[in-house]
Amino acid sequence: MKTKILIICCAALLLGTSCKNKNNMDNPFFGEWNTPYNIPDFEKIKPEHYLPAFEEGMKRQKAEIDAIVNNTEAPSFANTIEALEQSGDMLNEVSAVFFNLVECVNSKEMEKISEKVTPMVSAHSDDIMLNAKLFQRVKAVYDQRESLGLTGEQLRLTEETYKNFVRNGANIPADKQERFREINSLLSSLSLRFGNNVLKATNGLTLALGEDQVANLGLTDGQLAAAKEAAEADSNCKEPYLFTLHMPSWEPFMQNCNDRSLRQKMWENYAYRCTQECPYDNSAIIDSIVNLRLERAQILGFESHAAYTLDDCLAKTPEAVYKCLMDLWKPALAKAKQERDEYQKMLAADFNNKEVASKFNIQNSKLEPWDWRYYCEKLRTERYSLDEELIRPYFSLDNVREGAFTVANKLYGITFRENNKLPKYHPEAISYEVMDGDKVIAILYMDFFPRESKRSGAWMTNFREQYVDKDGNNVIPIIQMVCNFTKPTKDKPSLLNFDQSETLFHEFGHCLHGMLSKCHYRSISGTNVPRDFVEMPSQVMENWCRHPEVMKTYARHYKTGEAIPDSLIAKIAAAATYGQGFINTELLAASLLDMDYHSITKPTKIVLPDFEDQAMTKIGLIPEIISRYKSPYFQHIFSGGYSAGYYSYTWTAILDADAFEAFRESGDLYNPELAKKFRHLLESGNTEDPMKLYIDFRGKEPSVEPLKRNRGLI
C-alpha cells in the first residue's frame, strides 16, 4: 500500500490540550507542547506515557459527548455537528502519535501497549457511534440540513457525519449492538496481530552468505556493500553478507542472483511468510477477519463486506469493481503470457548449456516464479541495453527528492526548507517547513530507510491534519512520508532504481494532498476522501517523475553532476511498457483476490492456500506469477484499511492518466491554469463530491484510454 490513513474515531485529530492533571505533571500529553508549530515533543514521550494519556483522552471526550447529549437547546449545526467534530483533542493527539510510531519505531513494549489500547479505542468509538441520544441529535440536524443556511462545507460535514454514524451501527437494533461491539473489538485486535506477525516474519527470514558464496552470484558491488552493512548491523549474523525480505535487498537479489537455488530459497522465504510453513502463521486470523467482516456488514444491512465498503466509494458496487478489473485483466494476462514464453526460452537455453546449468544450479527447464525477475532483468538489459546499475547513479535519493520538490514548486509555487531543529521521532527522519511564499503551510517529515522497528513498504500519514480551530485559527498539518529505500553505504549515497523513484514521487503526491489542504473541518480535510479517489493525487505525480523533460532536471550523476544523457532517457522510455504484463497481472490478481475475500455472502471456512488457489485459477493466473501479495502477508487488506479497496490503485490510475493527459495536451507540463485548478482539487479534501472536483478540473468524465496506452495494453 502506498498510503496509510489513520481513522481513530469520528472526532477530529486536533492538537493541543491545556488542562494539566496534577497526577500526570510529567506526562507530556497532559499539557501544551512547548515546540515550534505545536509539534509533539517526541523526545519527551516515553512508552509509559501512552496508556494514561489514552485513558484521560477517552474520559475527556466522554464528558464532551455527554455535554452535547444533555444540551437542552434544540439540536443545531453548532451545538451538535460542530461540537462533535471539535471533541476529543487529547485522544486524537495521543492516537496519532502512538499508532504512527507503532508503524515506524516499534518495539516489544509498544506492541504490548497496542494490544491493550486498540480494543479500548475501538470500544470508545463504538460508545460514540452507538449512542442513541447523540445520533438522534445528529439525525435532527441532518433532516433539516437544507433549511439551515449552511455553507457548502458545513452541509458536507453534516452529511458525512450522519453517514458515518449509520455506517458504524447507529441504526442497528438494540439486541444486535452488543455483538456489533464485540466484532469491532475482535477485528481491531486481529488486524493488529496480523501486522505484527508480518513484521516479525519479514525481519526473521533472512539469507546469510559467506565470501565464497557471493563471489560469482552476479550481484553488483552496491548490493554486496549493502548486504555487508546489513550483516554488520545484525548481531546474530555469523556470515559477512546478509540479504533480507525488505524490498531494497530482496528485489535486486532476485533480479541479479544467477544461482537458481538461492533465488528459490529467497522467493520461498518471501512467498511463504506467515503460512503454516512459517512461524507467525496468519491463516486462522484471515479466516476470522473475513467472516467477522461479513457478519458486521450483514448486521448493517449489506449483503457482503465489499458491498458495505463500496457503498461509500466512487465505484459503489462490487459489480462495477469486477468489471473495471476484468477489462484490464484480459490484455494484461495476454501480455504476461508473451513475457513468460520469452523467459521460458531463455531458461531452456541456460538448462541446455551444461556448463551454465551446472554453475547456476539449474536442475530443470520449467520456468518458476523465482525465475521471473531474473530473466526479466536479463532480457531488459539485452533488449534495451538498460542495466539498472547504469540507471541508479543518476537517481540518488537526494536528487529524486529535490526533483519532487521542484515539480511541486513549478506547479504550486511552494518550497521546502529543511529545519533539523524541529522535534524528531527518529534520528533518520528529515524535517521540513513547507513554504507558500514566506508563510509556513505545513511540516513534512521524510523517513527513508529500512530498520527492524519499521514495517515494510511505503506510505504517507500525518501527526496532525489541517483544520481551523475553535478560535478561527488555521492549524497547519504535520505530514509524515515513510519509505524503505536502500541505505547509503560508506562509499555511495542511497541510489534508487526507477521504480523506487516513482514510489518517492507517489508518496510525495499523497503528502501534497495533505499539505495543501485548505478546509475548515479536519474530518473532511486533506486525504480524508473516498478510498478509490485517495490514490489519484499520488499516482498522478508518477507521470512527472517519468517524463523526459522533468527527468533531465533532477536525474544527475551522483559523482559528476552530469544530467542523465538523452540516450539513457530514450532507453527508459522505450522500456516503459516492458514487463507491464507481469506488473499489471500481479496487481490485478491481488485486487481480485481482495474482492473475492470480501464478496462472500455466507459464512465460509477460509482454508489456505485453497481459497487463494481457487481464486487465482478462476481468473486464469499463470503459475509463473503470484498475486502481488499472497494472503498471509497482504497487509493492505488485513491490517492496512484497504479491505475491498485494493482495486483503488487501478481505479484511480484511470483518473491519474487522464489528469496528466490534460497537461500533456496543453503542451505545458506546468500549465498555470491547469495547475491552479488541480491545486483547488487538492485543497478541497472531501468538502465536495470528489468526482465533481475532478470534472471541474478536467472539464469532462475521465477516459480509460490514456491508462491503457501508458501501460502498453493497446
For the residues of 100-127, what is the DSSP string, one character each? HHHHHS--HHHHHHHHHHHHHHHHHHHH
C-alpha to C-alpha distance for 205 and 197, rounded to whole angstroms: 12
Burial of 427 (0-12, 13-18, 19+ CB in 10 A): exposed
Separation of alpha carbons 355 and 375, rounded Å: 18
Distance from C-alpha of 687 to C-alpha of 529, rounded to nearest angstrom: 9
Residue 252, preceding peptide bond in cis (omega within 30° of 0): no
Cell matching residue 676: 491552479
CB-based contact 15:464 (threshold 8 Å): yes
Let me know if 400 is exposed, middle or buried by CB neighbors in 10 A (0-12, 13-18, 19+).
Answer: buried
DSSP labels, 639-685: TSS-TTTTTHHHHHHHHHHHHHHHHHHHT-TT-HHHHHHHHHHHHTT
Cell of 541: 505525480
Q: Does the active-site annotation cover 64?
A: no
**Nearest to residue 649, comparing CAs of 445, 480, 510?**
510
Give 525's contacts (C-beta < 8 A, 6+ positions apart): 465, 466, 467, 517, 519, 685, 686, 687
Is 498 in contact with 395 (CB distance < 8 Å)? yes
- Grid coordinates representing 85 are 467534530
CB atoms within 10 A of CB 508: 28
Which residues, other chains included, contact 575 with Cβ-Cβ below 8 Å and sequence gap of 6+? 380, 383, 384, 386
Cell 517547513 sits at which residue?
433
d(CA 91, CA 105): 20
| HEC assignment per residue over 130-159 | CCHHHHHHHHHHHHCHHHCCCCHHHHHHHH
Which DSSP helix (H) or strand (E) runs through 418? strand 414-418
**Do residues 453 and 107 touch, judged by C-beta distance below 8 A?**
yes
Cα–Cα distances (Å) from 679 to 61, 292, 424, 518, in that order, read: 35, 40, 29, 10
**φ and ψ at residue 257, rounded to 5 degrees:** -70, 120
Which one from 339, 388, 507, 535 is the annotated catalytic residue?
A: 507
443 - beta bridge partners? 433, 478
* Catalytic residue ranges: 507
